Structure 1
Amino acid sequence: MIDFKEKILIADDDPSIVKILKDRLDTMGFQVITASDGEESLILIMRESPSILILDLQMPKMNGMEVLKEIKKRNLEITAIVLTAFGTIEKAVEAMKEGAYDFIQKPIDLAHLEIVINKVAERNYLKKRSETLQSKLQEREEEISYLKREIGREYDFSNIIGVNKELQNILSMVRKVVDQKSNIFIQGESGTGKELLARAIHYNSNRREKNFVAVNCGAIPSELLESEFFGHVKGSFTHAFKTRNGYFEEANGGTLFLDEIGELNLDLQVKLLRAIERDEITKVGDPQPIKIDVRLITATNKDLLAQVKKGTFRKDLFYRLYVIPLTLSPLRERKEDIPLLIDHFLKKLNKKTGKEIYKISDEAMTMFMNYSYLGNIRELENLIERSYLLSDHLIIEPEDLPIELKEHSMNLIDRLDVTSGKADIKKVSRVAQLSAEKQIILNALKACNYNCSQAAKRLKISRSSLYDKMKRCKIHLEEH
């Protein structure tokens, strides 16, 4: 809606003209100020910032043409409508060259002037609206750019936590292919970080400015699969009220992440294979193919080769997807990363909640290290968050831990007989927590009066192995 509260300056040395114009503009809802000569009009323009100027060309001290030149010279934001009793085509052309919006001869046709004023007001409104939208658009673009940078930092490879050798090998391989279009196939149990790795690949690649589209293939009803993946045109089926892009078009130029790829039915597998082979898709209801440029990352927690053998997954599609295979180990096979992950989750929770818990006790760490984590990293994060929220201490203690950790710890102690110093250390997983191993060794040493040969026999390992473990666990006999 046009804002008729704009301020208008009338500059004319004829008081009767000024009164007539002022009365008319007042009734139209404008704010009106007046000047009787060119110098006064310039002063008012500078001081009052009117948006519209009705300017007589013949005035004392400074004529209208000189006023226009000064407005142009000083780059003042105002729309000028020129009035004169001496109007000629030449004068009109000259005034227009100096920046006048329109030219009206005296005697003034008020109805015509009102039309011109309304046009100027509408023009000014649209200009302001455009500037406001441009400003908002720029702010939004800057915000989007900032968010993309933040997302990029969040998914930097350095934020994939772990020193595990297999994980580091995966990251090394990914860095070599991150800018290539080759399809990546990620295999791993639920909660091992498949989507996190996929996002890291995207946001560290040359496709980072385009979309990353994540799809859970097992969550889409079978009757909607084709439409969701490839889009549809208006009227192509019941309830197709408008044309819609599918996942491939949304990810065009970027990355499409298909999680639980093994859940796709055979019909869609055929269409997916065709899209990959031809780099094109066809919308439902439209025979015209659409070229696409998508980097495809797929993931599964199933044995897809076994599905190929059973005939529930196409062999040709499998090998199209299985170009760069990556296997994420379950957390129980990379327990050396648990302390690092716990530290990361604690920092994340401190930032989120404002609490300050920066570590957990050695006893609590032992319990975390010895847990089996069927839900992998996702389960670890859940357990840390519960422990964090329930803790009343600056350090998370065993009593703060969820019941499943306590029960598992008690069962483990019963199996290993840690407190007697008689535990067979081979029963401890090769990735068992350092502090648990340290406690077993210390108990054995104490039971053998710190005789390393006897302690090694008690633990059923060689003396050299015991020394290696003592060095890794930082056990110094002189301190005991």
Structure 2
Amino acid sequence: MQSTPDPVTVLVVDDEKGIRDGSARIIDRMGCHALTAKNGEEGLDIIGRTDVSIVLLDLKMPGIDGMEVLKRIQTLNPDILVIIITGFATIETAIEAMKRGAYDFIPKPFEPDQLRIVVNRALEKITLKKEAANLEAERRRTLADLGTEKSRVHTIIDSLPNGIVVTNADGQVVLMNPAFGRLLSLSEDTATGDHISAYIPDEGLCQLIVEISGGRHVDFDDIPSYEFAVGGDRFFMARGRPVLGERKECLGAVVTLVDITNMKVLDRLKSEFVAKVSHELRSPLSTIHEQLALVLNDLMGQLSESEEHLLARAKEKTQGLISTIGDLLDLSRIESGTTCQEPKPVMLEELLSNIVDFLGTRAKNKSQTLTLVKPDTALPTIKADPLALESIFGNLITNAINYTQEGGEITVRVDLSGLNLRVQVIDNGFGIDERYLDKIFDRFFRVKNDKTRFITGTGLGLPIVKGLVEALKGRISVESEPDKGTTFTVLIPVD
């Protein structure tokens, strides 16, 4: 059964007995509890002893005047709503009192209805304020409640096979399921409440979780997955997402933990197999390619047109296989983390200039213009593997040349974007249909249509580029429109 709320206490402070008693009778009939005081000292004494919500305060009184009483009321309890009672000759003073924090004013002489209206407005504000406080209290039900609430959601989380951990805005663990403890070999009596670093041994992951908990990653697409190893033989992948409140404020983070040890073992075996097979195939294919080239050169003019075409096609195909093997070996090195050599200081503008100069001849053979656009101010030097950078931008520019019609335009633009060096390779070539944009970084995927089906390639160039960019802690994106061109954007961190 719901209890009836206590009536609101209204204090009338006025030196005129008729005003005090008449106002008190009206206020009592409104369902409020009315108190009276004949001067400021007596009113302040009542406020100090009683829970008063509204004060009707006369400005002109003997002793302490209304302005001083208003000031002291705000010091004692700023939540009290003060309604100034004033004569017509002191309206300006009443307005000044409202500027200093009074809620409203009522001029003398006033009718009972006028008093009811102004008091009702104050009562409505008190009601709204209480409702807002209740809503705020409800919203402030912290994620810590999840740790003790025996609910269906809690049961579901406990039964999940993947590890789940929830933190509050300060990065403290408020909930974790049994799978999380088993994956990280935590004791069964491990309690929540400590900082995330007390549960997860990887410093980088802890830092990422703290950032998510603090609201630094409100865009879900901006949050990377995180892989880490425990003990050198167990591998885990973590994904974190912010927990948002009704007003989109960040309340904390929820992190899922998956054991990917078997996947890592499988990837290693696959890479070792690819590397071994590739090494075994490269040597005989290179020999066959050289012998075909020798036959073509030695028997030039002695072969029929069909025989010469057959040998040329065989030579072309063996070269394609050799290129595929080279790309597969590059991918194996990327997956094993050994592709990037020791970082060195690199001036990206100079490296791009060399690549553009080198590939300029190929562009000219197709009557294309290949242009490098640099900013007016010098760009900062970055520390990276120059061979990886050459492979990235060499691949992208070569693709632009191959997939742009004769007479087309290719622009390489480099500038500074925040804390990243941004390189864009822009062409007005064949373009890529939107449905293929999320597939072009897949291995062996190639867009084939009437304009591109004669272009040779392995479909491994862009996967290699993406792997190298990510190895450099960078990002790559693409925008394209058929028959209008393509723009690849690479962001490389300065630090």
Normalising by the smaller structure, the TM-score range is 0.3 to 0.5
* Greater helix proportion: 1
Task: Tell which has more relative contact order, 1 or 2 (C-alpha 8 A, sep 6+).
Answer: 1
TM-score normalised over the length of structure 2: 0.33
Richer in strand (by share): 2
Using the size of structure 1 for normalisation, the TM-score is 0.34
